[in-house]
Structure 1
Amino acid sequence: MKRFIYIITDRNRNNLHVGLCSDLLKTIQFYSEMPTLFFDNSKQLNRLVYFEEINNEDMAMERFKTVSTYTRPQKERMIRPVNPDWIDLTAALNFESGVRRPQQVRPSVNIGRRLTA
């Protein structure tokens, strides 16, 4: 079963939280639904800036334990090579999940009608 190690931060990049999960999209959704779970409103964690996908559960747990002990500069050295602008990676994940799992297409009311210019 694959696992994800991730780093999520607030909009000002003051806090870097390391986590481990099996479904990254659901976890990010949880953070957005419970914005003040870990911090107050000004420090809500809502920006996914780094993640790793690991296919072995034991290896993922070991990696999580290691990354969790990193200092802030060490975490920044992990993030900057893959995400130098610290953009929120959630949008890309949502897009990728949509590509992997195509949604049902509903027929449009214009099917079969000829469009005129």
Structure 2
Amino acid sequence: MKHYVYIITNKSKGVLYIGETGGLKKRIYQHKNKVHPTTFSAIYNLDMLIYYEEYNSEVEAKLREKQMKKWNREWKLELIEKANPDWKYLYEEI
């Protein structure tokens, strides 16, 4: 089963949230619809998928998520802008 590490935001260069999931489309749907209204992503209105990576195992994805969460903001912005320079919303592509 595929697993994903993803980054969502509320606007270009806004607040960033990094997560990991086994069902990317479902998870982004949950963010968009604020299924869990007291979470960080719901409070800051983070629902725009701007970056994701695919992994073959949950272990790999969780390790990458932990690694990325330790990065400084500049590194995260560089990663996003290399893959998605226009900060396009990627939900429709998955």
The aligned counterpart of 2:6 is 6
The aligned counterpart of 2:58 is 57
The aligned counterpart of 1:91 is 92
Q: Please report how far the alpha carbon of residue 58 of structure 1 lies from its aligned counterpart in structure 2 after TM superposition.
A: 1.6
Q: Is the 8 A contact 2:9 2:49 kept in 1?
A: yes
Q: Where in structure 1 are there 5+ consecutive unaligned residues?
A: 94-117
Q: Where in structure 2 are there 5+ consecutive unaligned residues?
A: none
Q: Is the 8 A contact 1:10 1:44 kept in 2?
A: yes
User: Percent identity of the aligned residues?
Assistant: 33
The aligned counterpart of 1:74 is 75
Q: Is the 8 A contact 2:5 2:53 kept in 1?
A: yes
- Equivalenced residue count is 91
> What per-residue deviation string (whole Å, max 9, x for no partner) do you get for residues 57-109 of structure 1?
2211111110111111010111111100101001222xxxxxxxxxxxxxxxx
Larger radius of gyration: 1
RMSD: 1.6
- Between 1 and 2, higher relative CO (CA 8 Å, sep ≥ 6) is seen in 2
Q: Please report how far the alpha carbon of residue 11 of structure 1 lies from its aligned counterpart in structure 2 after TM superposition.
A: 2.2
The aligned counterpart of 1:33 is 33
Q: Is the 8 A contact 1:11 1:46 kept in 2?
A: no
SS of the counterpart of 1:48? strand
SS of the counterpart of 1:78? helix
> Normalising to structure 2: TM-score of the pair?
0.87
The aligned counterpart of 2:18 is 18
Q: Is the 8 A contact 1:5 1:18 kept in 2?
A: yes
Find runs of 4+ consecutive structure 1 residues off by over 6 angstroms. Answer: none
Q: Please report how far the alpha carbon of residue 12 of structure 1 lies from its aligned counterpart in structure 2 after TM superposition.
A: 4.7
